[in-house]
Chains A and B, each alone.
Chain A
Amino acid sequence: MTDLSVSNQAIAGKAAPPGEARAMRLPTQWLGVTPFFVFAVMFLILPTLYLMLGAFQNEAGEFTFANIVALFSANIVAAYWISIKVSLASSLIGAFAGLAIAIAIVRGGLPNWIRSGTLTFSGVASNFAGVPLAFAFIATLGRLGLVTVLLNTLVGFNIYAHGFNLLSFWGLTITYVYFQIPLMVVIIVPAIDGLKREWGEAAATLGATQAQYWRMVVIPVLWPSFLGTVILLFANAFGAIATAYALTGSSLNIVPILLYAQIRGDVLHNAHLGYAIAFGMIVITGLANIFYIWFRTRSERWLK
């Protein structure tokens, strides 16, 4: 990819007309990307900026930190906290389970049809979110779900009597993992494919054990893409609302549901507090991405 763009630039450099002509062509060149930038500014950047600025204004339009301070009231902090916990748990479980499955199908010596079948299924399941997914888990682990009923009648184990509840932190996490694992598989399989067989052979020639090969070759190489995907999964879960809303109604107070209720009916009785909640969501997903970039540059430098 880099090769191509470099050669393009080289060609462009050679073919570039002398001074005057270039000065005339410069603005027309930007015309080609104008529709994209107009679209992005109008429907992606400005709406987001509007909310971010609104988070620092009061009803009269004056600058204030009051909305940000109000974010730290007990029920909003609780909502953020449970959202972060669910996103973190589901992204970590999804990432490690997805990595295990990816390694199993690429490196585990399983028949080839399993690999291609798993990849197709992952493509489907990573896009199978929202209301249908919530219902699938109600039919499985709800009070009358298949697994709940089977466990109760066959083994006599009532999971609800032992503290399990689908409409809780763990219930939501288990449901989110359903689209987190496949997303991890889809993204990490190409990275595992990229591990060259020669590296393993070279390590073995130098007398490395299997454990050393994994610790000193495989993990450092996979680390950046693994970490990047974890953060993508985190953002994916943090912004998700349809699944949680269909599953729990408003009984589990996570941030997107709180914001949804606020947009619908101003439940917080302060429009600008809604902006502040949106601002807080962007800060959290944004921070996650900054961490990702920071980690990646560090590990890339170290890879050289």
Chain B
Amino acid sequence: MKSGRFWAWVVFVLGAAYFFIPLIATIEFSLRMRRGVYSLDAYKVVLGDSQFQATFMFSVIVAVFTILLGVLIVVPTAYWIRLRMPQIRPIVEFITLLPLVIPAIVIVFGYIRMYGSNSPLPFLATNTGANALLVIGYATLALPYMYRAVDTGLRTIDVRTLTEAAQILGAGWGTIISRVILPNVLIAVLSGAFLTFAIVIGEFTMASLLNRPAFGPYLQNLVANRAYEPAALSIIAFVITWGCMSLIQILSRFAPKSANRPN
């Protein structure tokens, strides 16, 4: 048992070294912009860059729309399957897992060919259309995570009783989903939302191939041309990801643990 604990420490320390050294190296590098002393110059330059602000804002807005679209598609579907159509659950689960099998670059390649300027549905003919297609593409990428989060949330509430109670009180389907089901799975939806945000904010492949002025391609361009700024941006990206994950953890503490609680 004692040697077991010794080996556990060895594994943990090795793992921690592998994961922390690159972070330390990046932080150290990001502070070296001014010759001879450590300074926050790289961060100042990055945050003051108007292109950084523009691309970052663009990605934030795209992320918000992606989350809205994801919620609109996933919540009613997951609810309806729990309520009425448990028999097609395997099919829907299979489809939601497809984005883990089909690489993002293949999906976006298909979009470019199917929805180009000369196609019957020319998403890519206008800027708005291309932005919409980017949101749609991200919603597809986030589908596995969003569906699982919402479905887990629905498992903890009594969907049938809530629906019947709402119907007895005269609510229609729209009211039931938006004012009864959604508030009850809000924490699960928010977990999915933050994960979606973390995925979307620095995404490169889709944004770059659809020629969108997003944060990922900007970052890529900076890595190719600058030395210290990308280090600062990498740290900022890490902090954003960390923020999203901590929010999910904090939220999960508020989530109900099981259905039909007596209170």
Contact B106 A110 (CB under 8 A): no
**Residue in A closest to B69 when the chains form the complex, CB atoms:** A39
List residues of chain B with CB under 8 Å of any chain A CB.
1, 4-5, 7-9, 11-12, 15, 18-19, 21-26, 28-29, 72-74, 76-77, 80-89, 92, 95, 98-107, 109-114, 136-137, 139-140, 143, 155, 160, 195, 198-199, 202-205, 209, 216, 219-220, 223-224, 230-231, 233-234, 237-238, 241-242, 244-246, 248-249, 259
Which residues of B lie under 8 Å from residue A246 when comparing CB positions? 204, 219-220, 223-224
A contacts with B, residue count (CB < 8 A): 82
Contact A124 B242 (CB under 8 A): yes
Minimal beta-carbon separation of A135 from chain B (angstroms): 5
Instruction: Report how many A-B pairs have Cβ atoms within 8 Å.
Output: 256
User: B241's contact among A29, A127, A281, by CB below 8 Å, is which?
Assistant: A127
Given A260-B105, A285-B101, A285-B102, answer yes or no on A12-B84 (Cβ-Cβ < 8 Å): yes
0 or 1 for each of A204-235: is its CB under 8 Å from B? (1 = yes): 00000000000000000000000000001001
Tell me what chain A mostly uses at the interface: helix, strand, loop, or mixed.
Answer: helix
The distance in angstroms between the C-alpha atoms of A32 and B18, with both chains bound, is: 48
Contact B73 A39 (CB under 8 A): yes
Q: A47-B111, A131-B204, A136-B22 are in contact. List 16 more A-B contacts (CB 8 A).
A: A12-B84, A32-B76, A51-B109, A101-B12, A104-B15, A108-B7, A110-B9, A125-B19, A128-B238, A135-B26, A139-B231, A146-B21, A181-B19, A256-B205, A274-B109, A282-B101
The distance in angstroms between the C-alpha atoms of A140 and B106, with both chains bound, is: 31
A1 interface residue (CB < 8 Å to B): yes
Which residues of A lie under 8 Å from residue B101 when comparing CB positions? 235, 282, 285-286, 289
Q: Show 22 residue pairs from A and B whose CB-CB distance is below 8 angstroms, ordered by the A residue.
A: A8-B82, A32-B84, A33-B80, A39-B73, A44-B140, A44-B143, A54-B113, A97-B15, A104-B8, A109-B5, A109-B8, A110-B12, A123-B248, A127-B198, A128-B241, A140-B26, A178-B18, A182-B19, A239-B104, A245-B204, A246-B223, A278-B105
**Residue in A closest to B87 when the chains form the complex, CB atoms:** A9
**Residue in A closest to B29 when the chains form the complex, CB atoms:** A139
Contact A140 B21 (CB under 8 A): yes
Given A100-B11, A135-B231, answer yes or no on A278-B109 (Cβ-Cβ < 8 Å): yes
The distance in angstroms between the C-alpha atoms of A278 and B104, with both chains bound, is: 11
Contact A136 B25 (CB under 8 A): yes
The distance in angstroms between the C-alpha atoms of A101 and B202, with both chains bound, is: 28
Which residues of B lie under 8 Å from residue A139 when comparing CB positions? 22, 25-26, 28-29, 231, 234
The 7 A-B residue pairs whose C-beta atoms are closest, nearest first, are A108-B8, A47-B110, A239-B103, A146-B25, A32-B80, A242-B204, A132-B234
User: B203's contact among A125, A130, A286, by CB below 8 Å, is which?
Assistant: A130
Given A130-B216, A146-B25, answer yes or no on A109-B4 (Cβ-Cβ < 8 Å): yes
Contact A120 B245 (CB under 8 A): yes
Given A108-B8, A110-B9, A246-B223, answer yes or no on A259-B202 (Cβ-Cβ < 8 Å): no
The distance in angstroms between the C-alpha atoms of A124 and B195, with both chains bound, is: 10
Which residues of A lie under 8 Å from residue B109 when comparing CB positions? 47, 51, 259, 263, 274, 278
User: B223's contact among A12, A33, A134, A235, by CB below 8 Å, is which?
Assistant: A134
Contact A146 B19 (CB under 8 A): no
Contact A181 B15 (CB under 8 A): yes
Which residues of A lie under 8 Å from residue B112 when comparing CB positions? 263
